[in-house]
Amino acid sequence: DAGITQSPRHKVTETGTPVTLRCHQTENHRYMYWYRQDPGHGLRLIHYSYGVKDTDKGEVSDGYSVSRSKTEDFLLTLESATSSQTSVYFCAISGTGVGTEAFFGQGTRLTVV
Amino acid sequence: TQLLEQSPQFLSIQEGENLTVYCNSSSVFSSLQWYRQEPGEGPVLLVTVVTGGEVKKLKRLTFQFGDARKDSSLHITAAQPGDTGLYLCAGARWGGSQGNLIFGKGTKLSVKP
pLDDT score at A13: 97
- Nearest by CB to B92, from A50, A92, A100: name it: A100
Asked if residue A1 has pLDDT above 90, the reply is no
pLDDT score at B73: 97
CB contact at 8 A, B88 and B108: no
- Nearest by CB to A43, from B88, B97, B99: name it: B88
Distance from B78 to chain A by nearest Cα, in Å? 26
**Whole-number average pLDDT of chain A:** 92
Q: Does A42 contact B106 at a Cβ distance shorter than 8 Å?
A: yes
pLDDT score at B34: 96
Q: Which residue has the higher pLDDT, B3 or A78?
A: A78
Q: A34 to each of A49, A108, B108, how far by Cα in Å?
A: 9, 11, 22
Q: Does B101 contact A106 at a Cβ distance shorter than 8 Å?
A: no
Q: Does A92 contact B98 at a Cβ distance shorter than 8 Å?
A: no
Q: Does A99 contact B41 at a Cβ distance shorter than 8 Å?
A: no
Distance between first and last Cα of chain B: 37
- Which of A60-69, A73-82, A99-108, B57-66 is the least confident region? A99-108
Asked if residue B85 has pLDDT above 50, the reply is yes
Q: A75 to each of A47, A89, B42, B82, how far by Cα in Å?
A: 10, 12, 18, 35
Q: Does B31 contact A90 at a Cβ distance shorter than 8 Å?
A: no
CB contact at 8 A, B23 and B3: no
CB contact at 8 A, A82 and A51: no
CA–CA dist B60, B77 (Å, integer): 5
Instruction: Please tell me which residue of chain B has the smallest CA distance to A2.
Output: B44
Segment A60-87, tens digit of pLDDT = 999 999 999 999 999 999 999 999 999 9
The residue among A1, A9, A34, A37 with the most chain B CBs within 10 A of its CB, best to mutate, is A37
pLDDT score at B96: 47
Partner residues linked to A22 by β-bridges: A7, A75
Dihedral angle of Cα B101, B24, B49, B103, to the nearest 10 degrees = 20
Question: In this structure, what are the phi and psi dihedrals at residue B83, rounded to the nearest 5 degrees?
Answer: -80, -10
**Whole-number average pLDDT of chain B:** 90
pLDDT score at A2: 65
